[in-house]
Structures are given as structure tokens and as C-alpha cells.
Amino acid sequence: MNNRIKCSAFIICSLLFYVSVKSKSLDPYKVLGVEKDASPRQIQKAFHKLSLQYHPDKNKNKGAQEKFAEINNAYEILSDEEKRKNYDMFGDARGSPGFDGGDGGNRGGHTFFQSGGPGQSGFRFSPDEWQTMGDQHGGSKSYSFSFGGNSGGSSFGFDIGDVFSNFFGGGGGMGGGGSQFGNPGGSGSHSGSRGSPKSSIISINSQIYKKQVIDKGITWLLLSYTPLMRGMQHYESIIEEVDSSLKGALEVGSVNCEVEPSLCKELGIHPRSRPRVYIYSYKASERGTLLEYTGDVTVKDLKSFVQDHLPKFSKRVTWAQFEAQSGTMESLPKVILLSTKKDTPVIWRALSGLYRKRFVFYDTQVKDVSDPAAKKLGVNEVPAVVGWLSNGEKQILKMGIHVKDMKSTIREFSSLLDDFEKKNKKISASSQSKKPNADSDSNKEVAVPLLTSTNFDAICGEKTPVCIIGVFRSSKGREKLHTILSSVSQKSLIRNPRDSVSYGLLDASNQSSFLYAFDKSGFKSSDRLLIAYKARKSKFSAFTGEVTSEEVEKFIGSVLNGDVQFSKMRQKPTFK
């Protein structure tokens, strides 16, 4: 009997030794080729490089698939702070001080063994748990095994003769399912083994999709998948790195199509043999649209795709184009970015999406602070943002912008825009309260454009019988003329139709040469004046008296009635 026990015990020990050697876990640091003090960024880069090299879709060599699984398993451990800490302390990502999946160890006289992932079977041998069946001097021995799982584990004893049925899949084997040693179990080759993507990628359901994704002005990168799908680790890692580089301009989420089948069906994003990547973009329209990404799943390619599909609600203009529109009174406040970039910066595009219904966005390229646009706006450091309230008041919001990281910079600008919007609402409310019957059409101010080389022919060209030009040399002069001409333009002064006359403003401080076409003095002595201009006949008439609503209305009425004498132009007016 004693010989039989000794023989059985020897077989068990030999088997355990074999299993531990056969299925010993690989060192994740060695698998990824990084040092034990490697930063998360270094680990992520190593994973990207190796996963691309050994991805089964690209590498058909023998052993590539197995290597790819090892790479994913290693990244699974080292990319998770808790798992990495457990591995560094115990050699086991789950925190057990022993060996995982056959990685043996002896801690304090205990030998630990765990098979599979959390919730699956594990057992230990302890010196004080050897129980003797019979008297103190002999008899057979049984072993006490402790099984650990999420429920806390349980212990029970069994006779040595039952060991083999438990090892090799008898009906009531370990863990209730015939656990097979050497199987990596819970440490699968993709994130499907965890059941859901990493916590930094938001899990999207129908409610979140409606409240946070649709029509919020922010670009979303979405991953659709099902658990146990191949390549999840690779997809998640790429998406997370793209998100990290565009933090603040981008949100990332994932949809588990097993959990959210109706949402996947509604959006048409159900994955097939592998995960699918989509972008919720505002590139093509005011409302967001969902577009699938079909390129290579690499950081460079996906980031380029995302940047191309960021919002484009900022109008890219030249300074001349912006000046042509600057006389237009907007109901919304407007802002312009002056930068040296050839294209609209990513941060400005992101902000134009977030605030697209609250501001009118522009951006223009300048060489430096000596650029005419910077000089005209009083900007002495670029990049800079200048804003205009709906009443035309200008304010420099920010100069010398330094981007530490995109997320904090967008947050800073959001605060500036929020404050500027509040100021605009106060001014609008104040101006409305001063106007009787503010909602009637007769009290609404009509915009009078600032004349520039780009819009002059359209406003005061030969197709216009008479063009009334309000000339100013100061901001107060401009404001007064705009109010008067806006009011007069809405009145029917004579029997002629209203479209027989057009109105515009001219900044004499910047366009002095323009006035020499009318008079050799250039009207330098006048801060405010009116010029009635007939382009077709090359004639004009000037009013240099006191500029009041009554006098201006009287002058324009006389012009339209033919009661004013016109003079011949010296030359055709030109702009700088």
C-alpha cells in the first residue's frame, strides 16, 4: 500500500513539474523587448511595431500567429497598471504570488497553481494540509486542495486514487469543466477575452450615442466589435494613440455589437470577421455623418484620416476678403485667428465645430506681426485671436498663443469664447431694451458693407445708378455713419425703386488715395462726409456739412430727385 502511495505521489509531482515547464509564461518585458522601467509610451510603441510585424494578415510565415498572440498577451499585462504591478511583484498579472498557467513557485511552504483566468480553478499544496487516513504511523494520505475564484474559493480533500480523473477531464474535474493544464486560459490574444475594450475608450450604447455623439460638434472615432474577435488589442492600441495625439479635438468610443445589436443594426456598423472603425465627421455638412475607415490600421494613416475629417466651419480667407465682410453686422459674434499656418490649425477646426452655432469663425495666414492684417488689428504677437461683438465692437482675445497640449489649449479657448459670448448677450439685451418695438422689421439695423477692392464693383459698379459712400476717419465716425445709412436705406425717399441706390462705407485713414479721384485735396479736412457716386457717368457729388440723420436723408433725397449738381471725376477710384 505504501509503495502504491509513493508511486502515485511521484507521478503527481512529475506531472506538475512537466506542466510547469511545458506551459511556463513568457516574460512580457522580453516579449516586447523593453526594459522593466519602460514608460507606458515606450511599451505602446514597442507593441505597435511588433504587432504590425507579426500580424497574421501581413505575416504568413510559420509561427507568426503564435508570436502575435504572445505580443498581445504581453501588452495585455504591461498596458494595465494593476496587472503590471502584480506581475512585477509576484510574476503573475492577477496578483497571485506563485505561477500562472504553469509558472511554478514556492512561497512560504505553499505551492500555488492557477489555471485560466479570474473565476477559474486554482489550487495549492500546503505542508500543514497533508491529512493522514488511518493511524499516526501509516495509512494512506489524502491532499487538501484550495480552489480560488471570484466567489472566494473552497477547499476539499480527495483520495490519491481520484487525482487522475480530476486531471484528465473526468465528469467532476477541477473547476467543474475538466481544466486542461498548459492552456493560457484567460490571457487571450485579444481584448475580447476581457469582454470589453479598455476603460479609456468609452463604451457606447444607444443613450450615450444620442446624448454625446450626435450633433455635438465634436469628432468621434468609433470601434465596432464583438467579444473574442481577433485583433482587438491592435485596434484599441492604435485608436488610443491617435486619441492621445489629438486629445481635446477627438473623442473615442466602442460599440459591443453583441450587447448593442439594435444600435449596430441601426447604424449599419455590425463587424464581420474583424473590428470596424468609423468616424463621426462634420466634413461634408452641418450635421455629423458616420463614415467607415477602410485604410491600414496604423497610427500615421488613421491620424491623417481623422485630421482630414475634423470640422471645417472656419472660413479660410485672405485679409482682403475678410475686410470686405467686416462691415457686415452679424447676429452672432465673430472671431478670426491670425497664424502663420498654411492651413487651418487643428485646434481652430475643433473649436469651430464645438461653437459652430454660437460664433462665426474665420482664419487667415500672416507672415508675422509686420503683416498688414496684424497691424490693422493692433496685434503685436502671433498667433492671435481677435473677436467682434454683434454691435461691431472689436476685442483682442488672445495674443502669442503657446500650445502646451491640445486638450488644455482647447479648454482655455473655450473659456475665452464663453466669456465673450456672455458679453455679447449682455450688449444685445441692452441694445434691444432701448429700442421700442425691437422685433418689428422697421427697427432692425441693415448692414452697410465696408468698401474694398474686392467688393467695390459689385456695390458701386456701373450697374448701380447711384452709390452713396459714407467716408470716415475714426471708429466713432464709422459707427455714426453706419447707423444713419442703415436707417436711411430702409426708407423710400422718392418714387424711384429702392434698388436704384446702394450704400457703402470707406475707411479714409487706410484708403486716402481713393478720395483723390474725386478731389485733389482728398477731403482731408473732413472726418465724416458723404459722396454720391455715379460710376457709369464718372461723376460725383459730395456732402461735407454736419452729418445728421435729417441732413443725410435730405442730401440723398435731393440726389435721387436730380436736385444736386454732379462734378466730373478726376480719375477712376483705386484702392491700395
**pLDDT at residue 371 is higher than 90:** yes
Summarize the confidence of residues 420-441 as an average pLDDT. Answer: 68
**Helix or strand or coil: residue 290?**
strand
Higher pLDDT: 65 or 206? It is: 206
**pLDDT at residue 349 is higher than 90:** yes
**pLDDT at residue 428 is higher than 50:** yes
Predicted local distance difference test score (pLDDT) of residue 233: 87
Q: What cell was used for 297?
A: 490600421
**pLDDT at residue 96 is higher than 60:** no
**pLDDT at residue 84 is higher than 70:** yes
Topology match between the domains 2-176 and 191-308: no
CA 547 → CA 493, 511, 534, 560, distances in Å?
Answer: 18, 20, 21, 18
Summarize the confidence of residues 22-47 as an average pLDDT. Answer: 82
Q: What cell was used for 251?
A: 473623442
Q: Tell the burial category of 251 from Cβ atoms under 10 Å away from its Cβ (0-12, 13-18, 19+).
A: buried
Predicted local distance difference test score (pLDDT) of residue 116: 40
pTM: 0.52
Distance CA 108, CA 94 (A): 19
**Are 505 and 485 within 8 A, CB to CB?**
yes
Q: What cell was used for 198?
A: 479598455
Distance CA 103, CA 426 (A): 70
> Kind of pairing, strands 219-225 and 250-256?
parallel
Q: How high is the mean pLDDT of the chain?
A: 76
DSSP 517: T
Predicted local distance difference test score (pLDDT) of residue 508: 85
Residue with cell 422697421: 442
Helix axes 232-245 and 299-308, enclosed angle (nearest 10):
50
CATH 3.40.30.10 is the classification of domain 191-308:
yes
Lowest mean pLDDT of 312-326, 399-413, 434-448, name the range.
434-448
Higher pLDDT: 112 or 476? It is: 476
Q: Tell the burial category of 247 from Cβ atoms under 10 Å away from its Cβ (0-12, 13-18, 19+).
A: middle
**Helix or strand or coil: residue 305?**
helix
Q: Given pLDDT bands bounded at 50, 70 and 90, which one contains residue 199?
A: low
**Are 377 and 414 within 8 A, CB to CB?**
no
**pLDDT at residue 360 is higher than 60:** yes
Buried b / exposed e over 420-449, threshold 16 CB at 10 Å, is bbeebeeebeeeeeeeeeeeeeeeeeeebb
**pLDDT at residue 387 is higher than 60:** yes
CA 270 → CA 57, 197, 210, 258, 292, distances in Å?
Answer: 21, 16, 18, 9, 11
273-328 confidence digits (pLDDT tens): 899 999 999 987 778 899 999 999 999 999 999 999 999 899 999 988 887 766 55
HSE value, Cβ hemisphere, 13 Å, CA-based, for 438: 8
Q: Regarding the domain delimited by 456-568, which CATH topology (the fold level of the hierarchy) does it fall under?
A: Glutaredoxin (3.40.30)
User: Residue 363's beta-bridge partner residues?
Assistant: 316, 337
CATH superfamily label, 315-434: Glutaredoxin (3.40.30.10)
**pLDDT at residue 438 is higher than 70:** no
The secondary structure element, H or E, covering residue 222 is: strand 219-225
Predicted local distance difference test score (pLDDT) of residue 1: 52
Kindly give, in sequence order, each residue whose CB lies less than 8 Å from that of residue 413, ignoring residues fewer than 6 positions away.
347, 351, 385, 398
Q: Tell the burial category of 301 from Cβ atoms under 10 Å away from its Cβ (0-12, 13-18, 19+).
A: middle
128-144 confidence digits (pLDDT tens): 433 333 344 444 433 33
Percent of the chain with pLDDT over 70: 72
Summarize the confidence of residues 78-83 as an average pLDDT. Answer: 86
Predicted local distance difference test score (pLDDT) of residue 393: 85
453-484 confidence digits (pLDDT tens): 888 888 888 888 899 999 988 888 888 889 98
Rounded to a whole number, what is the distance in angstroms from the first to the last CA of the chain?
113
- The letter for the amino acid at 92 is D
Residue with cell 497553481: 113
**pLDDT at residue 505 is higher than 70:** yes
C-alpha torsion 425→428→434→437, nearest 10 = -110
Lowest mean pLDDT of 79-83, 84-88, 135-139, 234-238, name the range.
135-139
Percent of the chain with pLDDT over 90: 34
Lowest mean pLDDT of 49-53, 157-161, 417-421, 447-451, name the range.
157-161
**CA 347 and chain centroid, separation:** 9
Summarize the confidence of residues 154-168 as an average pLDDT. Answer: 37
Domain edges within the chain: 2-176, 191-308, 315-434, 456-568
User: Residue 100's beta-bridge partner residues?
Assistant: 114
Kindly give, in sequence order, each residue whose CB lies less than 8 Å from that of residue 85, ignoring residues fewer than 6 positions away.
none
228-256 confidence digits (pLDDT tens): 888 888 999 999 999 999 988 999 999 99
Q: Given pLDDT bands bounded at 50, 70 and 90, which one contains residue 354?
A: very high
Predicted local distance difference test score (pLDDT) of residue 94: 64
Q: Given pLDDT bands bounded at 50, 70 and 90, which one contains residue 23?
A: very low
**pLDDT at residue 374 is higher than 80:** yes
Lowest mean pLDDT of 146-155, 352-361, 559-568, name the range.
146-155
CATH superfamily label, 2-176: DnaJ domain (1.10.287.110)
Quick one: which of 90, 81, 82 has its CA closest to 25? 90
